Amino acid sequence: MATGAVTTALSYDNALLATLAVYGSLLVLKFLFVSAVTNWPAYPHTFPFLLVGLFYVLTSPEAEMATLLIRVFAAASLVDMLLPEFVQKLAYFVGTAILAAMAVQVVMVTLENFKELKYIYQLRDLVMKQLK
């Protein structure tokens, strides 16, 4: 990825980054004011979501799908606080699935540009030859 592409992706003109910023800020505010003040247990995926979400936005995903994933994750985090235990467990599962989907997308896009990967494969093949 060229430097210009990174600068463009990190601009607030990028709708996905703005969406992540808004919903991520809501989750952080929920953590600060609800979890810390009322001793309500924090939603465990909030901070990993912010990091993986940023990496996910930098992979230039399809805008509609990325916006949907971000919004559903934020809703799952808020539902975790408001509704009964059964729905909380469902919200936790939904949040985990979304976080995993985003992380897989980041890994798949990153592997395409991972130059050292071919050297790892060459080293593996060399070791396998020596073992035979």
Cα separation, 77 vs 80, whole angstroms: 5
Q: What is the CATH number of domain 3-131?
A: 1.20.120
- Upper half-sphere CA count for residue 99 (Cβ side, 13 Å): 19
Tell me the C-alpha distance between 28 and 13, whole Å: 22
Picking from 68, 98, 65, the residue whose alpha carbon sits closest to that of residue 80 is 98
pLDDT at 99: 93
What does the pLDDT read at residue 89? 87
> Is the Cβ–Cβ distance between 69 and 19 less than 8 Å?
no
What is the pLDDT confidence band of residue 103, given thresholds at 50, 70 and 90?
A: very high
Regarding predicted confidence, which is higher, 54 or 12? 54
∠ CA(101), CA(98), CA(8), 5° rounding?
Answer: 70
Mean pLDDT rounded to a whole number for the chain:
81
**Model confidence over 22-50: pLDDT tens digits?**
888 888 888 777 766 766 666 677 888 88
CB of 74 closer than 8 Å to CB of 53: no
Q: Is the pLDDT of residue 101 over 90?
A: yes
Angle at 67 between CA 108 and CA 26, to 5 degrees: 110
d(CA 79, CA 69): 15
Q: How confident is the model at residue 21 (pLDDT cuts 50, 70, 90)?
A: confident
pLDDT for res 11: 61
